[in-house]
Structure 1
């Protein structure tokens, strides 16, 4: 039996849907909830997990304090560590005591860093180089889990996804679709970066493989679609999926970056103009895994849900 934490989240909900389709017996946990889920309360170093862990063989831990734009916390790193480090290790230690065999941890590509140089990619076994509080907390949780694996024999599997998109996606990806649907001209028609993304279906498929594949034990994997896009290409292909024209103005990248710096928006310029590429070949070599869904098919599925009724 599997335990899925954060089962009402973007990734956790999709994992539960996949398990239902596989006729797999599982238990779902949430922070607050009723019905056929277990409410565990706030996740930290003291969260009680004994009820949720009873009879569990594999834990898929998707619950986390996620990266927040314009975080108003007075001490973001401490808040991230409370949930993502102390909360994760508390769960993992109780999992060991309950006889759990494998612990699948959904981490983040931010453990590798924020950007890659042209022609370079992040690899699963690179030395960690997180730059923000969220990435640091995920990196620390990974190291603690791997040490626990050495000490106890718990099989730990770590998956680091880049930006995840799919039906129900929020934040910047949803905002991008809104701007495209409104037909607003965007000065993003000449960006020549490369960024790796991962469709929700592809990430869930990798998680499913990591739940049961023997070679996944005590390994780190990077997730991705296997096709990297520039920001301009992403906008063009997303517009096609939405059935609208992509009104992109070819403003040079240096001009965008300069203007963003003057406005104090250098971080935004980095996300739009910078590259972040991941190498997913380790999953292919060890697990025989390839992303089952193409980028265009995943974008179309995302667009169809977005256009359904509630987003426009």
Structure 2
């Protein structure tokens, strides 16, 4: 059994991992946002809480929220870049050997666009501050890991769904329960999703072996947002939703007006995950299809 510290334990993924790993017999120290003092405070010797920990899982993050566009980049950078780097520094100083950073598959999409010369860093920060903050954090953590000898693993997650999952999944159920039409009829491109059960299963596997690097995980299959909505309604025993085909530009325009621009841009583009690297390096493969994961969420 292992001594593990999890940041962001009050969030959906952090809380699920805390309960899951503790139930497996690991000694888990759970840190929530309210339990963490201001890390800019020079009087805080945060390294004390990392002593004797074998692994730190950094699940704390600022996700898609309704911030003032004037300071949104600074907020994402502070919480999703500066803070994980600070936590990794304290962990290394305390002698922690393994650090797992929970990232986003959105970082993979941006990375591909940079390689293709299709986007600049400033434009990425303006359009996709969450994704960009995760990608920049990955890069800075990699530099720090090389310098400090910390074994760093970054896990890129797609949209995670499950019982009581916040964000897009809860919003989708909210709209369907009210019988509102959804603009997903034209979103037929395959996308990766991950059940919270898939995430927990991967982490159980990860603890049994160390493997630094950047990896992405998902459910066993990939389905379209349209099919996801239909399967979610079926699993929740709701009437099939009314789906209308909305052009991506109109979906993006309407969502941006409602401060959901990042979510809309994400839904309107293909997002596929190659499981080859994680299968080759870890010998892990997901057990659940997305349909099975949705049924399990509503048991």
- The alignment's TM-score, normalised by the length of structure 1, stands at 0.80
Mapped partners of 2:96, 2:157: distance in 1: 24
Which 5+ residue runs of structure 1 have no aligned equivalent?
A: 33-38, 118-127, 305-312
SS in 2 for 1:159: strand
RMSD over aligned Cα, in angstroms? Answer: 2.8
Which 5+ residue runs of structure 2 have no aligned equivalent?
A: 114-119
2:233 counterpart of 1:231: no
Q: Residue 21 of structure 1 corresponds to which residue in structure 2?
A: 23
2:228 counterpart of 1:241: no
Give 1:145-184 correspondences, 5 Å limit: 145-184=141-180
Q: Residue 138 of structure 1 corresponds to which residue in structure 2?
A: 134
Q: Residue 87 of structure 1 corresponds to which residue in structure 2?
A: 83
2:13 counterpart of 1:11: yes
Give 1:35-184 correspondences, 5 Å limit: 39-43=35-39, 48-68=45-65, 70-72=66-68, 74-113=70-109, 132-184=128-180
- The alignment's TM-score, normalised by the length of structure 2, stands at 0.84
Mapped partners of 2:254, 2:104: distance in 1: 30
8 Å contact from structure 2 (residues 107, 134) kept in 1: yes
Cα distance, 1:235–1:263 mapped onto 2, change above 3 Å: closer
How many residues were matched structurally?
A: 283
Give 1:141-290 correspondences, 5 Å limit: 141-214=137-210, 216-217=211-212, 219-249=213-243, 251-254=244-247, 257-258=249-250, 261=253, 267=261, 270-290=265-285
8 Å contact from structure 2 (residues 111, 135) kept in 1: no
Cα distance, 1:258–1:56 mapped onto 2, change above 3 Å: closer
| Residue 50 of structure 1: how far off its partner (Å) | 2.1
Mapped partners of 1:285, 1:299: distance in 2: 27
